[in-house]
Amino acid sequence: MALLTSGSLRLANLFEDAARHAGVRAIRGGENVDMSVLFETGSARDSCEEVPRIGETWEGWEATSRMETDTIDTISAEKLEQSGRAVSLALMILGREIN
């Protein structure tokens, strides 16, 4: 599983740790870092990224993406289950975060 984030190292670390605890091998994809949060002069709302985002992909997804062969039959039940475990655990951890 590849994790794609847009600037939130904390969110990326949380999802990567959750995947590891769920028994899913996760790597980080290309990430764009919002430098305005590093040199903060105002509030977090002043940065380019108001809401951190994370995406999840699997190796080889681009081989069939947006093609006629991109059908439900190409979805791996095993990968879907692994993704579900990792994301569910990450959301449970996020739900208990207080800061």
Tell me the pLDDT of the chain averaged across its residues: 82
Q: Give the pLDDT of residue 88.
A: 96
Which token pair is 50? 């108001």
Single-letter code of the amino acid located at 1: M
Alpha carbons 27 and 62: distance in angstroms, whole number: 17
pTM for this prediction? 0.71
Helix/strand/coil percent split, the chain, to 5: 45, 10, 45
Alpha carbons 85 and 22: distance in angstroms, whole number: 6
Domain boundaries, the chain: 2-96
Please give the C-alpha separations between residue 20 and each of 34, 44, 47, 66, 72, in angstroms, as whole numbers: 26, 29, 30, 30, 27
